């Protein structure tokens, strides 16, 4: 049995697997449906997500000016 290869940070094997999955998802045409399914189901869930985002931002040094959110 061969010893597993540690590729370290930036694993090419993991990157290939991720890219293959992304291409498969996009090709399936299910992206729009997956986006609709990911939306908050209620105002309560939407509020929880906003609170979690604010909690994460509170720990950040600054907001990335390149990121535009509504």
**Matching residue, tokens 């509020």:** 47
pLDDT at position 26: 93
d(CA 29, CA 10): 29
pLDDT at position 70: 66
pLDDT at position 22: 94
Q: Consecutive 10-residue runs of the chain (70 residues): their mean pLDDT?
A: 74 93 94 92 95 88 75
CA atoms within 13 A on the CB side of 58: 6
């Amino acid at each position: 049995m061969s010893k597993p290869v540690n590729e370290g940070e930036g694993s090419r094997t993991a990157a290939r697997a991720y890219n293959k999955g992304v291409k498969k998802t996009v090709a399936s045409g299910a992206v729009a449906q997956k986006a609709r399914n990911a939306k908050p189901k209620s105002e309560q869930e939407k509020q929880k997500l906003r609170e979690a985002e604010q909690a994460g931002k509170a720990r950040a040094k600054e907001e990335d000016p390149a990121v535009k959110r509504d």
